[in-house]
Amino acid sequence: MAHVKIKVATMDAFCMEVFQKFGFTEGEARIITDVLLLSDIYGIESHGAQRLVRYHKGIQSGMIKVEAKPEVVFETPVSAVIDGHEGMGQLIGHFGMELAIKKAKESGIGIVTVRESNHFGIAGYYAKMACDQGLIGFGSTNSEAIVVPTFGRKAMLGTNPIAISMPADPYPFFFDASTSVVTRGKFEMYNKAGKPVPDCWGADENGQACTNAGHVLANIKAKAGGGIFPLGGAEELTGSHKGYGYAMISEIFTAILSLGMTSNYNLMNNHGGTCHAFAAIDPAIFGDPQAIREHFNNFLQELRDSPKREGHDRIYTHGEKEVLATADRMANGIDVDVKTLEEMQDCANYVGVDFDKYFGDLGVEINFNPDEHTQY
């Protein structure tokens, strides 16, 4: 599919205007825009501008309530439970992680679980919030059930990403990954490219491995059975039960501890019901944070310096690709496909934003290789 490059500043200004037109305050629009843009800047295109349509439709249908404010319904010095009251996921997520950070600064650790939210963007954004303040950050969310448990043929789990970030030099450790082999976005890329997917990616309506991306996607959409496999693929032999286990860990910290909706109820009857979890840990509760940081730096460097596989010249540590992507996106702009651009235009028309003011001079086509975008 044809893609265009859009300058980060242009997309930023467009999103800021759109979200304020939706009724969010300038401060709220700032948070939502920051979450979306970080995703594009980090090269996780599936969760950036591509998702604007989801928020547009969610607000339009009343599923996402613009006026809702997150409420702390239970609290201890090291924990809190938040009811998001079906508000915008990014705002609830930001509020939740701010609270976890505050508790970590006061008590060493803070864990916050959230119910009744909506899609919050990338989990890594929230982990990064803690990391930016010298803490270890953790973020997770459940989501619409599109992942089958091992030996299942009905999707019962979300792609349930788990993100962890920790300060390090020359750049932080930043791990943000779905607990499924891949996310739906990868199937969509392969479907558009007409390529078969690996047989460890997804199941047909009978729960059997299926390499036809379009077939799996159509079933997911129709809720006709099948879905994406957990990390580890179809069989215990390749570790399917492990990915399934990590998805369960996400459900425990997001939906179970918050008494919220597990992924198999997510998005039913135009009700998001999404649950999140956030944690922050101050490394200083284990000793000298600078000594810990240097120890970590050394290990990360040893990994990067260690001998490479034949045909490869680089071993990445987690967060390194995001640094490379950031340098590229800030210099060259972010990738947006034409379909997303159309959705952005539709959204602009809906809220009354002059689309051409931002994007009237676009039209350059670029090549796009789905395999370059592997984080999710």
Site for its own copies in 59-98 (CB under 8 A): 74, 76-79, 81
Q: Exposed, middle or buried by CB within 10 Å (0-12, 13-18, 19+), for 352?
A: exposed
Q: Which is nearer to its own copies, 61 or 269 (CB)?
A: 269
Q: Which of residues 209-228 bind its own copies (CB under 8 A)?
A: 225
Largest CA distance in the chain: 55
Among 129, 257, 275, 347, which residue sits at the site for its own copies (rule: CB under 8 A)? 257
Q: Exposed, middle or buried by CB within 10 Å (0-12, 13-18, 19+), for 67?
A: exposed
Q: Which is nearer to its own copies, 281 or 336 (CB)?
A: 281
Please, what is the minimum distance in Å from the beta carbon of residue 297 to its own copies?
10
Q: How far apart are CA 341 and CA 52, in angstroms?
A: 10
Q: Which of residues 303-322 bind its own copies (CB under 8 A)?
A: 303, 306-310, 312, 314-318
Q: Judged by CB under 8 A, does residue 238 bind its own copies?
A: yes
Q: Judged by CB under 8 A, does residue 134 bind its own copies?
A: no
DSSP classification of residue 151? T
Instruction: State how beta strands 79-83 and 109-117 pair.
Output: parallel
- Give the pair of three-digit tokens for residue 190: 């392969």
Among 8, 53, 57, 108, which residue sits at the site for its own copies (rule: CB under 8 A)? 108
Q: Which of residues 266-295 bind its own copies (CB under 8 A)?
A: 281, 283, 285-287, 291-292, 295
Tokens 């788990």 correspond to 162
Please, what is the minimum distance in Å from the beta carbon of residue 126 to its own copies?
16
Among 206, 270, 367, 369, which residue sits at the site for its own copies (rule: CB under 8 A)? 206
Q: Which is nearer to its own copies, 29 or 130 (CB)?
A: 130
Is there a contact between 210 and 192 (Cβ–Cβ < 8 Å)? Answer: no
Is there a contact between 252 and 178 (Cβ–Cβ < 8 Å)? Answer: no
Is there a contact between 15 and 36 (Cβ–Cβ < 8 Å)? Answer: yes
Please, what is the minimum distance in Å from the beta carbon of residue 340 to its own copies?
23
Please, what is the minimum distance in Å from the beta carbon of residue 203 to its own copies?
7
Task: Select the span of 119-127, 247-255, 268-276, 332-340 touching its own copies (CB under 8 A).
Answer: 247-255
> Minimal CA–CA distance to 174: which of 346, 53, 317, 7?
317
Q: Which is nearer to its own copies, 296 or 350 (CB)?
A: 296
